[in-house]
């Protein structure tokens, strides 16, 4: 029970994350061999544009390959004993599947990385990647001279073409053409060594790498004029944390803004309904997933009114002359994720001629898995809603997060949602129950949006206009060019003013419609973390950062660790509180998500907990860093049931001074800018309050402070005047006496009643299965009387779960169907 932060595993072997430039250069003999083979094999690039198995053709069975240094152990063709090009060790590789060209894929059981038999020597295993697979092993491509040697870890100093500073660059991985890529330790930008001067570093993105640095491209005359060069580079979307514009957003800081926090979908849907009904001119919408048959207002004990259904609202307002412009993500691989966007677009446009829908997705095959993840609505370019909520099945909820709805009054049909069991096959099946309401609980959903008025809303509208005008080239609405309303034009809606300072932030690349790379969400996270004095509070669906290794690039978690080290060394009270769900995917996806999350938290050698444990072996780390998990309980037909509250919120609070809400997950896809498109907003409040922080008076902003109280009251099961007890978030009587005590007590009781839920002592899959860990719903072993002692939904996150397992795609763990973004 509990985080058990002191239980840090011994570092597991993982591949060396770096190699010297000289060592990666192939010998002339090997280079000529590669050129000869490449010329004859270039034609075998697959239709996705990746380097997937450049040898082409069907894979020979392992038994027919020249064995050389590869030998089988155990089941023939299932396990190979060979040298690994990731970890440079001779070890066992377990067969997992075949790639798109039927080439057998394996998993190194030492470093848990994807491998394939080398197509040249058949003595080593080549590296496998998500988007392509290498043909040659590390020895044959010249990375190493002989098996048994390991490339050295280096940091190289040079000028960075992202931030124009002379900085240190830490080697990360090799790209598609086996060119070493680095990360600038100042700005976090991905770089590569300039092939011309070989002294400076170029810009690299997820789908292209510059070959020349900024100087060799003629973008400047000298590296030394840093200020001038930075101004010129602004159009390239750098992550420089300037004083006047700390996040490098294209949108300015807006003062005097009104912001309202909408915690959980009930509040969001009802505010959205009221605002849509008041629309007079235009409505802009963008969602990752949209279902037109969602009821925006629901009242217990009464049937919902069809006039409050999303499609009915749109049709009624369209009849009044309001024009609706809607952007949906176009799924390229519906077999992987199917949001039925084509069906939704057809249904919406069939409602009225004033409703226009554009579906758009990545045009480059290498970006197939990236998506439009922005979630927002703008009404008359005056009022906007921004955050993590889609208008789709399973999202509607309120702070009570009840598990049951036996009479189908609140959640109709598929909207009574538990992704552990099933997902709908079509939007047409929306009103048909797919799970037994009498025996299976729904999975509650925790999320948050901000309602924005005035200039900030118009910035969100400008983001939509930029995207719409970019996307319509690939749609049937090429003549529907939109223009943003000027900020000095009087509002149409009744716009409120306030005391908040807001800034719209994004993750946007060229493919998703930006004129320049925008990584301002990433910059905002780093800025907020580095400015923290008292606490960092984080709720997110994922936690994947560079401390996990394996090529993960964003450095937010490392910056959190840096801040913690400063505060622990100074013996200051400082809390980092992180609320996460467990990954909700199946198969390989589940394993990757679990592995990255746990390697970010407490395993793998460089995780957050392990770094702190090595630096401060005598410190109780839970007083500084702790992880939590939301879980609800209830009764169905008199039988106790439990289910996680799916934490889908993407919120960062710092010191009751900064509030950041967005659609962005805590991972590279959302933060690096050129992958998934995201949008969010940072909020500070000039209406200040003096509150106690660790007993001493501290100035905070009213909006972030009241938002924290609202979130904590929900998680702790407090109401009304009880929030006075949690005014000071970091003092011992609140943090240990209320927050930690509630989480530990709830965890103890829930684990006693439901021993099959993931727990810290489930360190292996064998133990987990023995306690019926894969059964849905979780099995109760008592009558549930003890559950009266549970308050709220806060529990300790089971970060010891599967601690002794090598989490990989070889291990088959099913946590649920593909849920959501």
Active site residue ranges: 373, 375, 380, 648, 650, 655
The number of helices, as runs of H, and strands, as runs of E, in the chain is: 15, 33
For residue 376 the two structure tokens come to 């927002």
Q: What are phi and psi of 92, to 5 degrees?
A: -85, 140
669: left (phi over 0), alpha (psi -120 to 50) or beta: alpha
- Specify whether the CB–CB gap between 233 and 214 falls below 8 A: yes
Q: Alpha-carbon torsion 543, 547, 550, 553, what sign?
A: positive
CB 419 within 8 A of CB 816: yes
DSSP 3-state assignment of 182?
strand
DSSP notation for 516-533: S-EEHHHHHHHHHHHH-S
> 585 is written with which tokens?
């995917």
| Pair type for strands 180-184 and 90-98 | unpaired
Question: Which of 778, 774, 779, 764 is CA-nearest to residue 815?
Answer: 774
Please state, as a whole number, how many other Cβ atoms lie within 10 Å of the Cβ of residue 497. Answer: 11
Strand ranges (DSSP E) for 150-217? 155-159, 166-174, 180-184, 190-193, 201-203
* CA neighbor of 94 nearest in space, from 86, 69, 126, 104: 104
**What are the contacts of 209-217 at 24+ separation with CB within 8 A?**
209/175, 209/179, 209/181, 210/161, 213/159, 213/161, 214/159, 214/161, 214/164, 215/159
- Asked if residues 762 and 768 have their Cβ atoms less than 8 Å apart, the reply is yes
Which residues have CB under 8 Å from 64's CB, separation 6+? none
Question: How far from chain centre, in Å, is Cα 753?
Answer: 32
Say if residue 489 is exposed, middle or buried (CB neighbours under 10 Å; 0-12, 13-18, 19+): exposed
Q: In terms of Cα–Cα distance, which of 225, 432, 487, 463 is closest to 325?
A: 463
In this structure, the strands spanning 376-379 and 383-387 are: antiparallel
Residue in the block written with tokens 């930006």: 514
What's the farthest any 2 CA atoms get from each other in the chain?
79
Q: List the structure tokens of 64.
A: 């027919």
Q: Decide if 783 contacts 809 (C-beta within 8 A).
A: no
Q: Which residues pair with 692 in a beta bridge?
A: 697
Bridge partners for 646 per DSSP:
445
Distance CA 763, CA 241 (A): 42
Give 3-state DSSP helix, strand, coil % of the chain, rounded to 5. Answer: 25, 25, 50
Q: Whose CA is closest to 548, among 692, 666, 410?
A: 666
Report the 3 state secondary structure along 383-437.
Answer: EEEEECCCECCCCCCCCCCCCCCCCCCCCCHHHCCCCCCCCCCCHHHCCCCCCCC
Q: Rounded to 10 degrees, what is the CA torsion of 767, 772, 773, 776? A: 170
């Amino acid at each position: 029970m509990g985080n058990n932060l002191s239980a840090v595993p011994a570092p597991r072997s993982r591949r060396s994350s770096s190699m010297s430039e000289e060592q990666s250069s192939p010998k002339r003999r090997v280079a000529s061999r590669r050129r000869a083979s490449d010329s004859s094999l270039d034609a075998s690039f697959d239709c996705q544009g990746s380097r997937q198995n450049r040898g082409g053709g069907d894979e020979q069975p392992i038994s027919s390959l020249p064995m050389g240094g590869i030998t089988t152990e155990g089941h023939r063709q299932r396990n190979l004993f060979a040298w690994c090009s990731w970890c440079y060790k001779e070890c066992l590789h377990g067969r997992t599947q075949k790639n798109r060209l039927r080439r057998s894929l394996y998993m190194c059981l030492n470093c848990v990385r994807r491998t394939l038999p080398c197509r040249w020597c058949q003595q080593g295993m080549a590296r496998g990647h998500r988007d392509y697979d290498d043909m040659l092993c590390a020895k044959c491509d010249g990375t190493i001279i002989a098996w048994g040697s390991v490339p050295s870890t280096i940091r190289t100093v040079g000028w960075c073409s992202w931030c124009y500073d002379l900085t240190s660059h830490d080697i990360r991985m090799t790209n598609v053409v086996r060119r070493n890529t680095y990360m600038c330790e100042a700005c976090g930008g991905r770089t590569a060594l300039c092939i011309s001067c070989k002294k400076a570093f170029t810009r690299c993105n997820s789908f292209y790498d510059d070959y020349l640095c900024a100087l060799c491209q003629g973008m400047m005359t000298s590296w030394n004029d840093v200020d001038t060069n930075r101004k010129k580079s602004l159009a390239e979307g750098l992550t420089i944390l300037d004083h006047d514009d700390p996040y490098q957003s294209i949108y300015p800081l807006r003062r005097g803004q009104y912001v309202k926090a909408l915690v959980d979908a009930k509040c969001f849907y009802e505010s959205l309904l009221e605002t849509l009904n008041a629309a007079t001119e235009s409505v802009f919408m963008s969602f990752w997933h949209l279902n037109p048959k969602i009821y925006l207002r629901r009242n217990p004990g009464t049937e919902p009114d069809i006039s409050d259904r999303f499609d009915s609202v749109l049709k009624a307002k369209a009849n009044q002359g309001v024009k609706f412009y809607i952007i949906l993500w176009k799924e390229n691989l519906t077999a992987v994720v199917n949001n039925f966007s084509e069906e939704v677009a057809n249904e919406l446009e069939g409602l009225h001629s004033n409703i226009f829908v554009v579906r758009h997705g990545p045009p480059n095959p290498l970006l197939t898995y990236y998506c439009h993840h922005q979630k927002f609505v703008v009404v008359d370019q005056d009022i906007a809603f921004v955050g993590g909520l889609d208008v789709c099945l399973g999202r509607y909820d309120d702070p009570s997060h009840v598990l049951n709805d036996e009479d189908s009054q609140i959640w109709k049909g598929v909207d009574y949602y538990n992704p552990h069991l099933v997902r709908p096959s079509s939007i047409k099946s929306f009103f048909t129950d797919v799970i037994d309401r009498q025996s299976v609980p729904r999975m509650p959903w925790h999320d948050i949006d901000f309602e924005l008025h005035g200039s900030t809303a118009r910035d969100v509208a400008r983001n939509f206009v930029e995207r719409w005008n970019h996307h319509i080239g690939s749609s049937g609405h090429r003549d529907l060019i939109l223009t943003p309303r000027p900020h000095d034009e009087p509002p149409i809606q009744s716009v409120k003013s306030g005391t908040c300072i807001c800034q719209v932030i994004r993750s946007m690349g060229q493919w998703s419609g930006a004129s320049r790379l925008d990584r301002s969400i990433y910059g905002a996270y780093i800025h907020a973390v580095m400015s923290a004095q008292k606490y960092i509070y984080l709720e997110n669906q994922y936690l994947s950062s560079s401390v996990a290794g394996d090529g993960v690039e964003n450095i937010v978690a490392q910056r959190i660790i840096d801040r913690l080290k400063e505060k622990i060394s100074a013996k200051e009270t400082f809390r980092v509180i992180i609320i996460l769900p467990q990954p909700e995917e199946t198969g390989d996806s589940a394993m990757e998500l679990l592995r990255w999350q746990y390697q970010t938290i407490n395993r793998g050698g460089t995780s957050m907990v392990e770094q702190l444990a090595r630096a401060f072996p005598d410190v109780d780390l839970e007083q500084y860093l702790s992880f939590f998990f939301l879980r609800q309980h209830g009764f169905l037909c008199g039988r106790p049931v439990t289910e996680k509250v799916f934490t889908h919120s993407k919120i960062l609070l710092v010191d009751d001074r900064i509030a950041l809400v967005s659609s962005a997950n805590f991972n590279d896809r959302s933060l690096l800018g050129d992958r998934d498109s995201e949008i969010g907003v940072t909020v500070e409040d000039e209406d200040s309050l003096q509150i106690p922080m660790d007993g001493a008076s501290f100035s905070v902003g009213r909006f972030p402070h009241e938002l924290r109280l609202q979130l904590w009251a929900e998680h702790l099961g407090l109401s009304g005047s009880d929030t006075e007890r949690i005014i000071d978030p970091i003092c011992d009587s609140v943090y240990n006496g209320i927050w930690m005590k509630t989480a530990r007590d709830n965890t103890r009781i829930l684990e006693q009643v439901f021993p099959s839920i993931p727990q810290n002592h489930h360190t292996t899959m064998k133990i987990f299965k023995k306690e019926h860990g894969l059964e849905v719903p979780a099995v109760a072993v008592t009558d549930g009387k003890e559950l009266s002692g549970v308050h709220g939904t806060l529990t300790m996150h089971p970060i010891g779960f599967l601690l002794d397992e090598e989490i990989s795609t070889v291990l088959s763990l099913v946590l649920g169907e593909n849920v959501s973004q």
